[in-house]
Amino acid sequence: MTPSVREVLQGVAIALSTPPSADAGLAFDASRMGLAASLAMMAAAEAERAAAAAIAENADIRALFAEASAHDPAGELAAAARQADTDLDTPALDAANARLRRQLIALHERVEAANDAGFERKIVALYVRMAEGRRMALGLG
Amino acid sequence: MSAPVAAGLASYLGRAWGEPVVIEALSRISGGASRETYRFDALVGGARRPLILRRDPPGSLIETDRRSEFLALKSFHGRGVAAPEPLILEDEGAELERPFFIMARIESGAASSPFAPDPYAPHAAALGADFFGTLGRIAGADTATLPLAEVCEAPALDACWRRELDYWSGVIEADEQHPQPIVRAAIRWLRRHPPPPAAKLGVVHGDYRSGNFLHDAAGRMTAVLDWEMVHFGDPLEDLGWAMDPLWSHGETDRVAGLLPRAEAIAVWEAASGLNFDPAAFVWWELFASVKGQAIWTSAAKEYRDGGYREPILCFSGWYTARRHDEILAAKLSELAA
């Protein structure tokens, strides 16, 4: 996902180590530090759950692919559905997620072209779960 | 003190006004990611002038035209919309090295965070009437008579939606770094279900929402801010953006944390002289969330490309992007039901 927890914390570190600007003034720098602090806390929450969220989302997408035989002429989705996440490092999970999401986009386009309203509702229900699974709370949440 | 902005302002304004200028109380204002905004006082001829500097940043969240923003202020200042008075536009940058403009500072009022819970109580209803009434007056303005007409293209009424959708979907196409199936599904829905032609060509502020105005904490707007995305188009575009759930402070019974939806629409209709078309608005509401996701997609790319230097870009590309995925998924779910 973008940005990654590592990238968020890189930004926090840069914000903390950047000298205040003479032009900006205390209020601006205080606000910037406050935002950086919030991002650090959000990153802490994300670090605890990002891998689990990615694994759950990937499994959910694969489960949908397993039901998509009517829209899987080349059998690519069935093949993807048989896979599982074995490398649990976040970059590997994100890379797998990116592949699955690209396949999901192509599947949805085929479903729309076929006017399969029933399967489209399944895809949209998956979108709702995906978005809920990645939900973030502000600040300390 | 090393203060190149203050020194540059003193030099520039001294030349512009033909007499010595002293800059005091310069400080940067938090918030905007598309312009650097500073407040300062200019002491000139024995008088103290409270001013705002809006300067292009080295890298910008949104590619915008400062001339359009300046002319938008010129179009509405003193004409029933609380637009600050625009004073000086400098396209080359001169002493400040990057293009900028200067406007009068409105001293009364403060902005509220768009993510604070219930920031307008107990005056939300009165402020909501002002907020949606002002938007209606912007929508109802005759575009042909405004200074903005110098720079804004006037699309055909049936082309407004396509121009906006092409632009913002292009932003996602160019800046996306992780595949986004939800917003892409929304874009395809919008292309398959185009709205009717705009009822009129109107001024679209482009970022009219909670958090982008000053208010006096007593139910009155004192300034409409951040006109950098202004253009001519379908007035429903602004209404959809203003009512997007992202800007509703977590509330479901009031839009923008201000008014119940039906009341907001009624106020807007009365002020604009336009009839609200619910069918067309379905399109513009979904489009608003697509546009938001495009802006956050750009923010994430800018954050990475810029070396992770701006926390506001990180926040926009992260938290707000995920919120808009939730909002888009919910809207798609309603449309698919």
- Rounded distance between C-alpha atoms, residue B90 and residue B76, angstroms: 20
- The answer to whether position A140 is within a domain reads no
| Fold of the domain built from segment(s) B124-336 | Aminoglycoside 3'-phosphotransferase; Chain: A, domain 2 (3.90.1200)
A140 CA to centre of own chain: 20
User: Which of B308, B318, B333 minimises the CB distance to A124?
Assistant: B333
- The answer to whether position A141 is within a domain reads no
Q: Do B312 and A124 touch (CB under 8 A)?
A: no
CB B206 within 8 A of CB B295: no
Closest B-chain CA to A36? B311
Q: Is A2's Cβ below 8 Å from some Cβ in B?
A: yes
pLDDT over 60 at A62, yes or no: yes
Q: Looking at A6-95, which runs of residues are DSSP E strands?
A: none
A14-18, A19-23, A134-138: segment of lowest average pLDDT: A19-23
Q: Which CATH architecture has domain B4-104?
A: 2-Layer Sandwich (3.30)
- Rounded distance between C-alpha atoms, residue A30 and residue A37, angstroms: 10
Domain ranges of chain B: 4-104, 124-336
Give A-chain residues touching B177 at CB under 8 angstroms.
2
Q: Do A134 and B322 touch (CB under 8 A)?
A: yes
- Binding-face residues of A in 100-129 toward B, CB within 8 A: 101-102, 104-105, 108-109, 112, 117, 120-121, 123-125, 127-128
Q: What is the pLDDT of residue B61?
A: 45
- Rounded distance between C-alpha atoms, residue B28 and residue A21, angstroms: 10
* Tokens 């990654």, located at residue: A4
Per residue of chain B (337 residues), give pLDDT as tens. 435 899 999 999 999 999 999 999 999 987 666 788 999 999 999 999 999 999 987 755 455 578 999 999 999 999 999 999 999 999 888 999 888 999 999 999 999 989 999 999 999 999 999 999 999 999 999 999 999 999 999 999 999 999 999 999 999 999 999 999 999 999 999 999 999 999 999 999 999 999 999 999 999 999 999 999 999 999 999 999 999 999 999 999 999 999 999 999 999 999 999 999 999 999 999 999 999 999 999 999 999 988 888 899 999 999 999 999 999 999 999 999 9
Give the DSSP letter string of B8-30: HHHHHHHHHHTS-EEEEEEEEES
Q: Do A2 and B310 touch (CB under 8 A)?
A: no
pTM of the predicted protein model: 0.95
- Rounded distance between C-alpha atoms, residue B28 and residue A100, angstroms: 44
Per the structure, the complete domain to which residue A86 belongs is given by 5-133
Instruction: List B232's β-bridge partners, or say none.
Output: B203
Give A-chain residues touching B332 at CB under 8 angstroms.
124, 127
- The answer to whether position A54 is within a domain reads yes
CB B237 within 8 A of CB B165: no
pLDDT over 50 at A141, yes or no: no
- Rounded distance between C-alpha atoms, residue A105 and residue A116, angstroms: 15
Q: Is A24's Cβ below 8 Å from some Cβ in B?
A: yes
Whether the ipTM is more than 0.85: the answer is yes
Closest approach of B335 to chain A, Cα-based (Å): 10
Q: Do B333 and A7 touch (CB under 8 A)?
A: no
Q: Do B325 and A131 touch (CB under 8 A)?
A: yes
- The answer to whether position A24 is within a domain reads yes
Q: What is the pLDDT of residue B174?
A: 97
Q: Is the dihedral of CA B140, B145, B150, B153 positive or negative?
A: positive
Domain total of chain A: 1
Q: Is A93's Cβ below 8 Å from some Cβ in B?
A: no
- Phi and psi of B140, rounded to 5°? -85, -10
